Amino acid sequence: MLASSPSPTSIAGPPPPPYYNSSWSLISQGAEARVWLVPNYIQHNTNRGANANSTENDHDSSKNKSITTSAICKERFPKTYRHPTLDDTLTRSRTRAECRSLARCLKHGVSVPLVLGVDLRKAGNITNNGGGS
């Protein structure tokens, strides 16, 4: 079971990423990265039964459905013991390699999380919460 979301000041190590939101929950932290649960990452609004010929009166709240998807954010934080240029190069390279590996696994039918986004400048990637396509 996941612990409640810690406040930014109670998180060990470097401060949370600039895009951190207080609704995020820290799942795990290691020497290389922190893994966050991001609730409500994507919200889909669907119109079930709506078509091009329908009018405004045809739409009622029972036909509209909102689907919310949570995601996992892996944040690679800077290592202060490395030279900044070396740290940046290694972190970007490892983030790219991880995303390529996940894509390759998915292509060959392995059940892995789908990469939803990557930010190489902030060294983070977002995957869906769960395995496989």
* Contact of 125 with 98, CB cutoff 8 Å: yes
Segment 22-39 shows an average pLDDT of 88
- Looking at residue 120, its amino acid is L
pLDDT of residue 1: 45
User: How many C-alpha atoms does 4 have within 13 Å on its Cβ side?
Assistant: 2
Q: How far is CA 94 from the centre of its chain?
A: 17
- Looking at residue 54, its amino acid is S
Of 3-12, 51-60, 66-75, 110-119, give the lowest mean pLDDT range.
Answer: 51-60
Segment 119-126 shows an average pLDDT of 76
Percent of the chain predicted with pLDDT > 70? 67
Strands (E), the chain: 25-29, 33-47, 64-76, 115-119, 124-128
Q: How far is CA 16 from the centre of its chain?
A: 14
Record the tokens describing residue 65, joined without a space. Answer: 């459905």
Let me know how long the chain is: 133
| pTM of structure | 0.66
Q: How crowded is residue 56: how many other Cβ atoms within 10 Å of its Cβ?
A: 5
The pLDDT tens digits for 60-89 are: 555 666 667 788 888 888 888 999 999 999
